[in-house]
Structures are given as C-alpha cells and as structure tokens.
Amino acid sequence: MTRHELRQAQAAAVDAAQQAGDLMRRHWRSPKVIGQSTRHDIKLELDVRSQRLIGRTLARALPDVPVLGEEGDQAGGDHLRRWVVDPIDGTVNYAHGIPHACVSIALQAREPTGPTAAFRTRLGVVYDPFGGELWTAQAGGVARLNGKPIAVSTRPLAESMVSLGFGNSAGVIEYLVPAIGNLANRVRKIRLMGSAALALCYVATGRFDAFLEPGLRLWDIAAGGFIVEQAGGTFWRRQLQGYERHAVNAHNGRLGRALNPFLRPLIANDRSQAGTGRSAG
C-alpha cells in the first residue's frame, strides 16, 4: 500500500473508532442487553451495533475491503486486504460499569510472496473513549498517542510492571494461578486490567513493560500488537494447540527471554506462528 492509501485508510479507521467510542459513551449508563454469555465472557447487543457502525464507516472509504471481526466475519475469500475489528475490547468491564474498554481496528494486507500468503498488519488504531486516548500507527511510521510519538520503556525485569490476562481456553486458569506467584517474585507489580488492546497500547506507551496472555483472538491483538512494534517494542505470538487463539508476549524489547517460560507450557510448537497480526489460519 502507498503512503497516500495508508493515510486515507487511517483517517477512515480513526473516524470509525471515534464514532463507535461515542456510541459506547452514550450507552454507558444504560441497561446492557447481553446477547451471548460463556463462563468467563459476555457479548452485548451493543457489540453488534458497534461493529455494524464501524463496518459502514470503513466501507465508505474502502468499499471492497471486508471486515473480520468479533461480531461476524465478512473477510472470507481471496481478498488482498481486510479490516480486523474488535468493536468493544473489554466488554465485561464495560458491562459492569468499569471505564476500561476500547475500540480496536487494524488493516491487514496479504503478503505477495510466501507459502502461506499470510496477512500482515499495515495500520492500527485503538481508541479509549473514556480516557480520550487515540493510538495510531502506520507501516513505515511511528506509533502515536493523540498525535504525539510514543516509545516503549527501558525498564529491566526487576523494575517492570507486567499486565496479564487469563483468556478463556480450557486449562489456562489452572496453569496461570500458580505461575503468577512465580512471576510476582521477579517483577515490581502485576496488573490484570481486562482489555488486551489497551494493555498492548500501554506497553507501547511505556506504562506497562510487558503484557502476557494466552487465548486471545486475532481481533484482540492485531492493532495493539502492531502499535507495540511501531513504538520500538517486541510483539510475539503463537497459536495454541486445538484453538484459533494465540498466546501473546508483548514487551519493551528487554524482557522476552525472562518472560517466555511463563507461556511455554501452553504453546503447541507444531502449530506456531510468530509476527504481528498474521492470520490464525
């Protein structure tokens, strides 16, 4: 994609994210309608409305680019580009009145060469409507927060603040609970916040030094992981055995060797994929 095309696409993604964020704020105090629930997650009727709003806004700018999203996949077929959208990342927080949720939008392009013809993220937009914070990044550029360049931290492990998530995959919580005790003795603080996209952006901004979570979907991580990389950090992911979910280790570039063992028992190496925003298959 040319720089002009990326600028146009980013403008559309920012517009869509801000409109969806406005929708979240307008319904902040309203009763929430739960459309679907599992043991550890819920989906709201507002998730669906938000994704439809985002899809309409993006289609006006790039009508031939489909949307792969949490609330439905229109990106099947042999497309060269696709949007990857999470209309409300942190839905459980939002439903419980906790203002820690965001809109996440990434644009991916299919690589012209390679055996898998995988997609790679070319731009990412994450919008926190409650904090008024907008993260953006384009291929070949720098990551920005509200228009100002950002960079990851330089803190070592002993001084680091690490964000964790449990995910929804079977067996993950049983493994992570004792593992957290081991990690807590090696870092300064651990935080569990409930939004993967915001945790990734906090790593990109230097607020967190790392983010670890097994069991994430592509739309949870495509934009935020790309923003981490464009801010000078490292974004690593592997597909978990038997799931279209990914174990994620995003950090400031200094902590990978120390943190990878935390996720290693959950990783199926024969189904692994590493790199920003690559398709889960």
Rounded CA-CA distance 45/62 in Å is: 26
CA 41 → CA 23, 38, 57, 111, distances in Å? 21, 5, 27, 33
Instruction: Using DSSP, state whether 146 is helix, strand or coil.
Output: coil
Q: What is the pLDDT along the chain (281 residues), one digit of tens a residue?
A: 888 999 999 999 999 999 999 999 998 877 555 555 444 454 678 888 899 999 999 999 999 999 998 766 665 567 899 999 999 999 989 989 999 999 999 999 987 765 556 899 999 999 999 999 999 999 999 999 999 999 999 999 999 999 998 766 556 677 777 778 888 899 999 999 999 999 999 999 999 999 998 889 999 999 999 999 999 999 998 766 555 677 889 999 999 888 877 766 655 433 444 444 433 32
Residue 243: predicted pLDDT: 56
In this prediction, residue 160 carries a pLDDT of 97
pLDDT score of 259: 86
Check if CATH label 3.30.1540.10 holds for domain 3-149: no
Q: Domain boundaries in the chain?
A: 3-149, 157-271
Q: Please enumerate, as own/partner, the contacts of 167-172 that have beta carbons within 8 Å and a separation of 24 or more.
A: 167/213, 167/214, 167/215, 167/216, 167/245, 168/38, 168/39, 168/40, 168/41, 168/215, 168/245, 169/214, 169/215, 169/240, 169/243, 169/245, 172/214, 172/215, 172/266
pLDDT of residue 72: 63
**Topology, domain 157-271:** D-Maltodextrin-Binding Protein; domain 2 (3.40.190)
Q: Do the Cβ atoms of 75 and 68 come closer than 8 Å?
A: yes
Q: What is the pLDDT of residue 256?
A: 85
Tell me, what's the pLDDT at 192? 93
Measured CA to CA, the distance from residue 267 to residue 272 in angstroms comes to 8
Select from 229, 273, 268, 274 the least CA-distant residue to 251: 229
